[in-house]
């Protein structure tokens, strides 16, 4: 099935003046054009800006008005300017469109380039994020397209606290976040890997991993948490939030994935989606912080190739650090997974024997 690459040059206005710069969008597109654009399974689709109604699927009117006035309450991480606000609307529109492209059957997979807002909530900006493109995508499918079950898999190295807050009480959304232990990374130890609230209790599954965790440990988490839950929940669409920041050379995080590991994660998602939801995947590829700009385009492309079953023509831009192994923290990860399965056994039959 075809894959939509949802991208607009206007996304380059999403430049916060620090590690997240506007040039990252075109840097990726240049690599994509070189390596994959001529493949028949890909089509670049340009999104439009989110409307007021689109934003209100998730965000409060008061918050939208404040953002339009460029009054940021998180100015260090998330400064606002007219260009940034325009680009945030564009990314939100891209998220909505990506979900609709997959839901229509025109594409099996749609990837939002540079998307994947994790930390922004219904009424606040946070951690480089303004409008929740992920939340808007999911809410639009639930409210306007009749979906009843959506699985969101977040493999960004940071815990998706904003996504959690939006859907914590909604049992129609199963949120699985695989991330570096928040005690060692933003958003910090205040995010206690919660399990959901009210009717949504048991529908938020957080897997905090040790810094340095490598490819094989991630594979173990996917095979023993993500895939069984997906088969149990039977989502109608899978939304994936990823990027390159779990890579061993990311400048902010401390995880241990290789490009091959990033490809593996997406490939596991593709295989599972084929089993449970007809292969329907909406992906947001946006994380990664490398001042030289060598890492994140390759990480995003590795993920896209994994989703489409393509072997990427990519080499690691940096040598492996001393002591790096693909199975780093494997034994500790098995213990973490067992604890997660035991904690969620009362909610999911796939964990009943844990």
Q: Mean pLDDT for the chain?
A: 97
* Pairwise CA distance, residues 6 & 8, whole Å: 7
Q: Give the mean pLDDT of 83-87.
A: 98
Record the tokens describing residue 9, joined without a space: 């040059």
| Residue 100 pLDDT greater than 80, yes or no | yes
Record the tokens describing residue 344, joined without a space: 């969620």
Q: What is the per-residue pLDDT across 8-65, written as a single tens digit (0 to 9) for each?
A: 999 999 999 998 999 999 999 999 999 999 999 999 999 999 999 999 999 999 999 9
Of 203, 147, 159, the closest CA to residue 346 belongs to: 203
| Residue 344 pLDDT greater than 90, yes or no | yes
* Pairwise CA distance, residues 25 & 255, whole Å: 23
Give the confidence band of 353 by pLDDT, cuts at 50, 70, 90. Answer: confident
DSSP SS3 for 263: helix
pLDDT for the residue 206: 98
Exposure on the CB side of residue 308, measured as CA atoms within 13 A: 25
User: Do residues 132 and 162 make contact, with C-beta atoms less than 8 angstroms apart?
Assistant: yes
Range of the domain at 200: 3-351
DSSP one-letter code for 321? P
% residues pLDDT > 90 (the chain): 96
DSSP one-letter code for 156? S
pLDDT for the residue 291: 86
Q: Give the mean pLDDT of 210-230.
A: 98
pLDDT for the residue 237: 98
| Residue 297 pLDDT greater than 80, yes or no | yes
pLDDT for the residue 147: 98
* Pairwise CA distance, residues 73 & 340, whole Å: 35
User: Do residues 110 and 3 make contact, with C-beta atoms less than 8 angstroms apart?
Assistant: yes
Q: Which residue has the higher pLDDT, 312 or 301?
A: 301
Q: How many domains does the chain have?
A: 1
* Pairwise CA distance, residues 76 & 108, whole Å: 38
The CA R_g of the chain, rounded to the nearest whole Å, is 18
pTM score of the predicted model: 0.98
State the CATH number of the domain containing residue 146: 3.40.800.20
pLDDT for the residue 218: 98
* Pairwise CA distance, residues 238 & 174, whole Å: 10
Q: What is the per-residue pLDDT across 142-181, written as a single tens digit (0 to 9) for each?
A: 999 999 999 999 999 999 999 999 999 999 999 999 999 9
pLDDT for the residue 161: 98
DSSP one-letter code for 191? -
């Amino acid at each position: 099935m075809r894959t939509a690459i949802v991208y607009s040059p206007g996304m380059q206005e999403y430049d916060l003046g620090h590690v997240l710069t506007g040039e990252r969008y075109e840097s990726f597109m240049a690599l994509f054009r070189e390596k994959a654009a001529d493949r028949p399974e890909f089509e670049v689709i340009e999104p439009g800006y989110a409307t007021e109604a689109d934003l209100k699927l998730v965000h409060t009117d008061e918050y939208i008005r404040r953002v339009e006035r460029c009054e940021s309450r998180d100015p260090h991480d998330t400064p606002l300017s007219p260009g940034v606000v325009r680009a945030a609307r564009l990314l939100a529109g891209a998220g909505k469109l990506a979900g609709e492209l997959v839901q229509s059957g025109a594409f099996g997979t749609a990837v939002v380039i540079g998307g994947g807002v994790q930390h922004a909530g219904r009424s606040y900006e946070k951690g480089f994020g303004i409008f929740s493109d992920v939340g808007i995508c999911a809410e639009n499918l639930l409210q306007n397209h009749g979906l009843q079950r959506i699985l969101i898999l977040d493999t960004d190295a940071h815990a998706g606290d904003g996504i959690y807050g939006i859907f914590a009480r909604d049992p129609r959304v199963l949120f699985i976040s695989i991330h570096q232990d928040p005690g060692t990374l933003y958003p910090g130890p205040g995010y206690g890997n919660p399990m959901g609230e009210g009717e949504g209790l048991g529908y938020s599954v957080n897997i905090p991993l040790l810094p340095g965790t490598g490819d094989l440990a991630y594979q173990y988490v996917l095979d023993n948490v993500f895939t069984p839950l997906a088969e149990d929940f039977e989502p109608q669409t899978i939304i994936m939030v990823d990027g390159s920041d779990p890579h061993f050379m990311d400048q902010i995080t401390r995880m241990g994935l290789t490009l091959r590991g990033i490809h593996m994660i997406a490939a596991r998602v593709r295989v599972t989606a084929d089993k449970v939801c007809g292969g329907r995947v909406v992906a947001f590829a946006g994380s990664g912080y490398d001042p030289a700009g060598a890492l994140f385009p390759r990480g995003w492309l590795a993920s896209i190739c994994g989703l489409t079953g393509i072997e990427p023509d990519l080499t690691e831009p940096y040598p492996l650090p001393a002591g790096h192994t693909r199975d780093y923290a494997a034994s500790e990860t098995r213990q973490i997974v067992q604890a997660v399965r035991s904690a969620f056994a009362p909610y999911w039959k796939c964990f009943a024997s844990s």
